[in-house]
Structure 1
Amino acid sequence: MASLAPLDPASAYPAVIAGGRDRLAQIGHARQAILYGVGQVAGTAPVLESWIERSWQRCLARGKKPEQELIFEMLAPQTPRRTEEANHGLVQAARPVLEKLGQAIANTRYFAILTNAHGVVVDVNGQIDRRDRRVDLITRIGVDLSEQSVGTTAIGAALTELRSVWLHRGEHFFNANTAYSCAGAPLFGPDGECAGMLDLTGVDAVERPELKHLVEQSARSIENALMLNQPHRLLLRLNWSSRCLGEDTDGLICLDADGWVTGANPVARLMVAALTGTSGKTSKSPAAIHCSELLAIPFEMLFDAGRRDALGYQQALEVPLWSGLRLHALPLLEGSLQRMGGATPPAPPLPLKDVETALIRKAVTEARGNVMQAARALGISRATVYRRLGRQK
């Protein structure tokens, strides 16, 4: 078995020992209050999010102690191969995204980790320094990084809370994990169930909460790749009339030849309320739903539009929902995406600084110029937004 020895509190939280008031000090005070019952939690609310405390409490309920040695089970030689085989679909869908991520975050001390729905590592990418034991232990294919195994981490929290998270150093439960900073987002499959999670982790790295936005967007790309690999006869790309079709922000619905839904991505489930709670299985399943229950038009019209697209007459349709709302839809017959995908080569990866600036600019645009709202969404200060965009306050 391999393990990480617990850190000495004085070395892990020098600001706390010195009585400082920076972020690490506040986290340290929260640890003392919640994990050891020492001192008050007052003043820590803006730093410690409720899901972190919930995770800490779950760890305590399992009899874990922050100061105990963290044990990583040694993996059998065949474990990596078996893990990859068992998660082949997820790994194949995610690998192009992981490769771009690995290049984008190069030289930042962050790397990408992909796990299955149980928190078991199935793939990694980025500049991984195997000489650093803290890195090597968590980037082995087949290692269990679930909350039950290694306590509060972005991986365990994202899978338990089913939400994207940012976790910095002492916000991890075990003292041995307080060198890590990580962003994580869950991945949902075509059936609407959690299929795994994507994590960006740094060791002794500068805190970069904006990576939470990056990991969310990357998770969306993986979810869409899973959708495109789902068996279907027709793919519907959906978006509101004010948005352009063809982006990762599209809702995606897969239909079989008879119009039954075989899968939908999370965006589509938000756009079309009737999809909520459906499994996206075949028409033989009692949980299946037909396209005619989603859209107030004959489903044959969608297939006709898809056939016109196959002949080179691509045109989005305005389709009504039964609620009265309207969406733009681009129906694509099976095989159309492969032809489209081969026409445009992938763009070269951008440096992390440029990626971060683009994410900040996008957040400001989505907030309609409200810098404070964008800063809150990204988890950074308003001053940071102004500085990165070169704008005057």
Structure 2
Amino acid sequence: MPEHRHEDRVAKASQSPGAVTRLAASWRRSMVKHGLDPAGAPSVRRLTPRELAERREALDGFINVARPQLDQLFQLVCPTGCSVLLTDASGIVLEQRVTEADAGVFRGWGLCNGADWSEAAEGTNGIGTCIIEGRQVTIHRDEHFYARNTGLSCMDAPIWGPDGRLIAALDVSSARTDTERWNGLIAAQVAQSARQIEAAFFRASFPGARIITAQPPGGDEAMLLIAVDKDDLAIGANRAARRAFGLEKEGQLRPRPASDLFGREDEATGFEKAERAALIRALARAEGNVSAAARALGVGRATLYRRMSRLGISENPGRLSRS
């Protein structure tokens, strides 16, 4: 018997109410709040096909938006033998990307559609702890709560809905022993993919609105997104923008004049400067082809022309192409 078993280490670190690390605090939650035993893990709970179908139906629009990014992320990480999972805000796996050769391995770990990977069910783990703490996490092997999960490495990032509430978690998991050196790179890609899904779903949630974007200082956080309707009322804001502008933390945004957020109409604001710079960069990359720039930005050509006009970007016949 090992001198220091995993379950003994978890129990000892969880004894203090003032756990000094986030990992120890999660272990303590698992033992004290959820009443779990690190040595006595039950089998992973799985929803019935009908229950899973109901969960998916409730998030059908979101899942459809997320699928292209899940496919792209999987193409990047599949050579390392990883699985890509998308869960709901309760930790239920809704979508999985895995090679046919590896599917049985991950199913044996309980990483499959319909599985419950909430912290209440599985203790400290990438999905559940990411959801509980609302932040990006990496839970590597013996950082897991249950001894039976210590062969896994899990990199996770939260996805926030247009209402400012957590809507999902994005997970990449590996059961290989030689992936630790790649964990940082994979975690960065998971975070980027989560932000891309979040932004795409925000745009899809306000189909008739103009989406104003700005990069926060530092560039590592989610893009600030504001939805503005035809009457120039701000009708939506993502979580990052809500925090930056002191708006409602969660729920439906109270419509308000966009100028109240961005400043006087005759004065270029930070948002406007950022948007203008983004348009000019897109046009430069497209070598002046307006249609190509519009496609790269995900907007129609007419919309791009309106933005150019509003931001004072003049069309130069010698450089910009309408084709």
Which TM-score bucket, shorter chain as reference? 0.7 to 0.9
RMSD: 3.5
Tell me the distance in 2 between the aligned counterparts of 1:111 and 1:342: 34
Tell me the distance in 2 between the aligned counterparts of 1:64 and 1:182: 20
Tell me the distance in 2 between the aligned counterparts of 1:344 and 1:280: 29
| Contact persistence 1:224–1:248 (CA under 8 A) | no
Residue in 1 aligned with 2:144? Answer: 172
Residue in 2 aligned with 1:41? Answer: none
More helix by share: 2
Q: For 1:209, what is the secondary structure of its paired residue?
A: helix
User: Aligned AA for 2:275?
Assistant: A
1:150 deviates by 1.2
| Contact persistence 1:113–1:200 (CA under 8 A) | yes
Aligned length: 278
Task: Show the 5 A alignment for 1:1-393.
Answer: 10=2, 30-31=9-10, 33-35=12-14, 50-61=21-32, 62-127=34-99, 129-132=102-105, 134-135=107-108, 137-140=110-113, 142-205=114-177, 206-207=179-180, 208-210=182-184, 211-231=186-206, 232-239=208-215, 250-269=223-242, 272-275=244-247, 277=249, 279-281=251-253, 287-298=254-265, 318-319=268-269, 327-329=273-275, 343=295
Classify 1:75/1:251 alpha carbon distance in 2 versus 1 (closer, same or farther; 3 Å): closer
Gaps of 5+ in 2: 280-290, 299-323
Percent identity over paired residues: 27
Tell me the distance in 2 between the aligned counterparts of 1:145 and 1:249: 25
1:69 deviates by 2.9
User: Aligned AA for 2:210?
Assistant: L
Tell me the distance in 1 between the aligned counterparts of 2:139 and 2:151: 11
Question: Can you list the C-alpha shifts for 1:5-37, whole angstroms capped at 9, x where unaligned?
Answer: xxxx74xxxxx76xxxxxxx9x88843632589
Tell me the distance in 2 between the aligned counterparts of 1:343 and 1:327: 21
Q: For 1:79, what is the secondary structure of its paired residue?
A: helix
TM-score, normalization by structure 1: 0.61
Classify 1:30/1:209 alpha carbon distance in 2 versus 1 (closer, same or farther; 3 Å): farther
Tell me the distance in 1 between the aligned counterparts of 2:248 and 2:242: 6
Tell me the distance in 2 between the aligned counterparts of 1:175 and 1:269: 40
Tell me the distance in 1 between the aligned counterparts of 2:64 and 2:45: 26
1:172 deviates by 0.7
1:264 deviates by 2.0
Question: Can you list the C-alpha shifts for 1:131-176, whole angstroms capped at 9, x where unaligned?
Answer: 2265562212x22211111111111111111110111111111111
| Contact persistence 2:154–2:172 (CA under 8 A) | yes
Tell me the distance in 1 between the aligned counterparts of 2:188 and 2:215: 21
Q: For 1:130, what is the secondary structure of its paired residue?
A: helix
Tell me the distance in 2 between the aligned counterparts of 1:342 and 1:126: 34
Q: For 2:78, what is the secondary structure of its paired residue?
A: coil
TM-score, normalization by structure 2: 0.73
| Contact persistence 1:260–1:291 (CA under 8 A) | yes
Classify 1:234/1:340 alpha carbon distance in 2 versus 1 (closer, same or farther; 3 Å): farther
Classify 1:341/1:127 alpha carbon distance in 2 versus 1 (closer, same or farther; 3 Å): farther
Q: For 1:252, what is the secondary structure of its paired residue?
A: strand
Tell me the distance in 1 between the aligned counterparts of 2:217 and 2:126: 35
1:327 deviates by 4.3
